[in-house]
Amino acid sequence: MSATPVVRVDDLVLSYGGEPVCAPVSFTIAAGRALALVGANGSGKSTVLRAVLGLLEPVSGSLQVLGRDVDEREELFRAQVSSVLDDDAYFPALTVAEHLLLTARGHGVRDPDDLTDELLEDFGLSDHADVLPVALSSGQRRRLLLAAGFARPRQLLVLDEPEQRLDQRMRAALAERLRAETDRGGAVLLATHDPELLESVAHRAVLVADDVSRRLSVADAARAIRAEPPR
């Protein structure tokens, strides 16, 4: 395991229109580890993820991924960091399988067809491989996005509430896949409201909040989520 953390965030301050989104955030993620961001709706979890992906300029603090300042304009950065945000946009004329093939080929995967077949199977989309996105349900479209996150090489996987729109069986399968990801040496950063997913995947957690953002044990983070008012 390399000594350089995959992600290093120090006193990161983010804002929209000049107003801070949350209290300064600090954390590191080593290779083979998973860190979960928890907090109430609107607390800034997704904003932190967007900053890690280079989609939002920090106001202050430092942010490094794989030992380098974040710059998503660099091809190397995009080759190493995979993400699944809350996008819901698809090419209307490309099938489910073709979306995955596009991703795999775009990343130069050696056997894109085999990988696509495997992901379709794992994410329960085999029967919909030839279906256009317009005919998918909301949950199936979410599974397609998640599958795309795995259809490429990566050293860091960033997921924004991956449990959204998934049934219990698929959530369990996702948790298993994320555990396998860290077992193989990959790093995972996810924002979640699902205590079961958190407990089965994350090694540490960070509570993102307006007043103060702090590190939590997984058990405390799961308790914090369970104490959240129903959404």
Partner 1 sequence: MTTSAVRTPSGRDIRRFTAATARTRGGAGIGELLGDVYYAFITSAIGIGMAVGVVNTMRDALPPSSAAPAAGPDLSLPGLAALTVLAFVGVLLSLAGRLGPVGVGGAEATWWLSLPVDRRGLLRPVAVRLPLVAGAVSAVLLVLIDLGLRAQSGETLDRVLRVGAVGGLGAAALVLLAGVGQSFGAVRRRIATAGNVLLGLVPVLALVGGYSGWRPGDLPTPAPVIVVVLAVVVVAAGLLLDRRLARIPARDLRDSGSVASQAVGAMVSLDSRELGRALTDGAAPTRRRRVARFSWVSSAATALVAADLAVLRRSPRHLVQVVAAACVPAVVVGVRQIAVPGVLAAAFVVSGYVAMVATAEGARRAEMSPVLDRLLPLAAARVRTLRMVVPGVVMLLWSIAAFAAVARLEGDLSSWLALAVLSTPVWAGAAVRSAYRPSPDWSGPLVSTAAGALPVGVGGVLARGPDTVVLGLVPTGIAIVLGFVTPHLLIAQVVTSAIALAVGAHITTPKSVHA
Q: What is the DSSP letter of 27?
A: E
* 194: contact with partner 1 by CB under 8 A: no
Identify the H or E element spanning 226.
helix 218-226
* 91: contact with partner 1 by CB under 8 A: yes
Q: Which of 8, 28, 32, 78 lies at the binding interface for partner 1 (CB under 8 A)?
A: 78
Q: How far is residue 22's CA from residue 140's CA, in Å, rounded to a whole number? A: 32
* 179: contact with partner 1 by CB under 8 A: no
> Which residues have C-beta within 8 Å of that of residue 96, sequence separation ≥ 6?
120, 125, 128, 129, 130, 131, 132, 133, 136, 140, 144
Quote the least distance from Cβ 80 to partner 1, whole Å. Answer: 8
Q: Which of 217, 229, 225, 216 is nearest to 196 (CA)?
A: 225
Q: Which residue stretch of 5-13, 35-43, 101-109, 192-200 sits at the interface with partner 1 (rule: CB under 8 A)?
A: 101-109
Q: Which residues inside 122-161 make contact with partner 1, applying CB under 8 A?
A: 132, 148, 150-155
* 42: contact with partner 1 by CB under 8 A: no
Quote the least distance from Cβ 86 to partner 1, whole Å. Answer: 10
Buried residues in 118-131 as b, exposed as e (16+ CB within 10 A): ebbebbbbeebeee
* 52: contact with partner 1 by CB under 8 A: no
Quote the least distance from Cβ 5 to partner 1, whole Å. Answer: 16
Q: How far is residue 57's CA from residue 52's CA, in Å, rounded to a whole number? A: 9
Quote the least distance from Cβ 216 to partner 1, whole Å. Answer: 28
Segments in 129-189 forming alpha helices (H): 138-150, 168-183
Q: Which of 46, 103, 116, 140 lies at the binding interface for partner 1 (CB under 8 A)?
A: 103
Phi-psi region of 121 (alpha: psi -120 to 50; beta: other; left: phi over 0): alpha
Q: Which of 83, 140, 192, 213 lies at the binding interface for partner 1 (CB under 8 A)?
A: 83
Residues that bind partner 1 (CB under 8 A): 16-19, 54-57, 72-73, 75-76, 78-79, 82-83, 87, 89-95, 98-99, 102-110, 115, 132, 148, 150-155, 181, 184-186
